[in-house]
A and B are shown apart, each in its own frame.
Chain A
Amino acid sequence: AAGVIQSPRHLIKEKRETATLKCYPIPRHDTVYWYQQGPGQDPQFLISFYEKMQSDKGSIPDRFSAQQFSDYHSELNMSSLELGDSALYFCASSRQQEMETQYFGPGTRLLVL
């Protein structure tokens, strides 16, 4: 069965650079969630989208923005990167109306030097 796809899987950036992370949900899933997991920490919710509209917002810095496109894939844009942004970024998808479980992608490991 198709799973959630994230790209890239690994990314190395320098401070003050920008990064774009991509998430491709499971087919027919209409909701995408982004989570950030710092080293040794619990995953923290950043933002979610349902039918291309932002549906909930968590602890996402103002330097970050995200959107969901017409094909339901989502991109997380991160600007003015800081060392503290180094983390594992997970995307998850679900089908909202059926209140299904969230399926997680493999994550993008971002390292900011």
Chain B
Amino acid sequence: KNEVEQSPQNLTAQEGEFITINCSYSVGISALHWLQQHPGGGIVSLFMLSSGKKKHGRLIATINIQEKHSSLHITASHPRDSAVYICAVRQGAQKLVFGQGTRLTINP
């Protein structure tokens, strides 16, 4: 069993829909990251969370430390949101352990 599990693995939705991507982890963490990877491969850090909730534009990320669960929400989704979204947990001050990613496709 992977230390970081994401669901769903693939998600296709229509423009404007509300999107939720889930991440569960089984290890102790110091922080959780949500990352976005576009087809060209570049990785962009969206959020770093250690508790509570963060919002940036149409993106919202939440984390429940007790339940070892985090969610990434996208409101009013747009085709340009199409990408792979990766949950990664940080153990201590060092390395990230990555989930397998969720491939999101938003159709116009």
Contacts and interface: CB of A to CB of B under 8 A. Distances in A.
B33 A102 contact: yes
Interface string B80-108: 00000010101001111111110000000
Contact of B99 (A42, A44, A92, A107): A42
Given A99-B93, A104-B44, A42 B30 contact: no
A24 interface: no
Given A55-B94, A99-B93, A104 B45 contact: yes
B26 to A, nearest CB: 15
Interface of B: 30-31, 33, 35, 41-45, 48, 86, 88, 90, 93-101
* Interface SS of A by simple majority: strand
Contact of B96 (A102, A106, A107): A102
Interface residues of A, number: 24
Interface of A: 33, 35, 37, 42-45, 48, 55-56, 58, 88, 90, 92, 96, 99-104, 106-107, 109
B33 A109 contact: no
A24 B33 CA distance: 22
Given A42-B86, A101-B33, A101-B48, A56 B42 contact: no
